[in-house]
Structure 1
Amino acid sequence: MSPRPRAEMIEATRAKLLASARQAFGRLGYAQTSMDDLTAEAGLTRGALYHHFGDKKGLLAAVAAQIDAEMDQRLEAISSAVADPWQAFCERCHAYLHMALEPEIQRILLQDARAVLADSAQAGEEQCIESLGALLQHLIDARVVEPVAPLALARLINGSLVEAALWIANAAHPAQKLEQSLGGLNLLLRGLRRSDAAAATAGGA
């Protein structure tokens, strides 16, 4: 059997470290995770970790980016599966808040990454704002949402969703906070919609 190509071996090592770190950070939290235990579980050395990710903080950033990318894919799939653009937008916002109940997202993304990786978290939010802005521009062009600067509105909506998700993730009773947040979100979303668009939907129902 021929030896594996170097690029493939590098990718396999990174994948092992990410998988081991993701499991450890999700189970123990960032502060309680030992780099020696993590690398031993992956069958690798601390030198491999430092080579690929720099340090423990760099490893957390890579894990957070991986989870964030998966969330984006899930949200895109949810909104793409709904034919009505307005309903798709609403379901995307709802789904984001529901994700705040998932233990891995709670601990790694909404707790540890927010505390340890402030700059990286801000960069990730900018990408979310751009995506929301594009969706809102489409709704504005379709005369579903009142005309307004889409990126400004995207910042307001994203900020509301992130703050609500953090509130849910850090609550003693997160399911209760989710229910309260969804009620507030629905009120905010109704305020975005053009009155004539809502009337047209009601008339066609």
Structure 2
Amino acid sequence: MSRARADMIEDTRARLIASARQAFATQGYAQTSMDDFTARAGLTRGALYHHFGDKKGLLAAVVAQLDGEMDASLHLISERAENPWDGFCERCRAYLRMAQDAEVQRIVLQDAPAVLGAADQQQCVDSLRRLLDELMHAGFIEHACSQALARLVNGSLVSASLWIAQDENPSERLEEALRGLELLLRGLKLNAVC
């Protein structure tokens, strides 16, 4: 495939994702029309079908993009921390704070689970598992099955994020969730670690 053709394909995909992302965030998945966001992108329905199969496939691509952005942001938080434990804790707090972002609320926390199911959480679970392995190796937490711990931590964060996002007073719910998170995190940390 020529470079020009590859660039054109990437541009078409990017335009469709950007248009759908904006529509899904403002109107929700169920209320969006494929014709609306394909026209807004200056493309046809055929382009959507060719690149994503259908509207659900386009939602999956939007969620993958958002998940990647969220994971990159969380990774940066971990990297900037003074030590791995502080990075892990701040990463968990930041995940809960992301539940107040309108785009994350609508697309990631509401529409994606309803339309795509829970399968889109694997990237987060894998990232958490790697962090937990590092924390165990460094002696911050007790050795256990990192896959199980990652699923438990991720499930807690996702559930609390949904609770925050769906509440009439998300700021109050966030503060309550953050206080509860501190208790959970203290339970993970080995007493011998300062």
TM bucket, shorter chain: over 0.9
Cross-structure match for 1:158? 154
Question: How far, CA to CA, are the matches of 2:108 and 2:174 in structure 1?
Answer: 17
CA displacement, residues 47-68 of structure 1 (integer Å, 9 cap, x when unaligned): 1111111111111111011101
Question: How far, CA to CA, are the matches of 1:114 and 1:161 in structure 2?
Answer: 14
CA displacement, residues 59-84 of structure 1 (integer Å, 9 cap, x when unaligned): 11110111011100000011101121
Cross-structure match for 1:186? 182
CA displacement, residues 62-107 of structure 1 (integer Å, 9 cap, x when unaligned): 1011101110000001110112111011000000000000000000
How far the C-alpha of 1:35 sits from its partner, in A, is 1.1
Cross-structure match for 2:10? 11
- 2:97 maps to amino acid: H
Out of 133, 155, 164, the residue aligned to residue 168 of structure 1 is 164
How far the C-alpha of 1:130 sits from its partner, in A, is 2.2
**Larger CA deviation: 108-117 vs 129-138:** 129-138
Larger radius of gyration: 1
Are 1:68 and 2:67 matched, yes or no? yes
How far the C-alpha of 1:6 sits from its partner, in A, is 1.0
**Corresponding residue SS for 2:26:** helix
Question: How far, CA to CA, are the matches of 1:165 and 1:39 in structure 2?
Answer: 31
- 1:94 maps to amino acid: R
- 1:54 maps to amino acid: G
How far the C-alpha of 1:147 sits from its partner, in A, is 2.4
CA displacement, residues 99-121 of structure 1 (integer Å, 9 cap, x when unaligned): 00000000011001110001xx3
In the TM superposition, what are the counterparts of 1:115-130 in structure 2 within 5 Å? 115-118=114-117, 121-122=118-119, 124-130=120-126
Question: How far, CA to CA, are the matches of 1:160 and 1:168 in structure 2?
Answer: 12
Question: How far, CA to CA, are the matches of 2:138 and 2:37 in structure 1?
Answer: 51
CA displacement, residues 8-67 of structure 1 (integer Å, 9 cap, x when unaligned): 111111111111111111111111111111111111111111111111111111101110
Q: TM-score, normalised by structure 1?
A: 0.90
Question: How far, CA to CA, are the matches of 2:33 and 2:151 in structure 1?
Answer: 37
Which runs of 5 or more residues in structure 2 are unaligned? Answer: none
Q: TM-score, normalised by structure 2?
A: 0.95
Cross-structure match for 1:177? 173
Cross-structure match for 1:47? 46
How far the C-alpha of 1:4 sits from its partner, in A, is 7.5
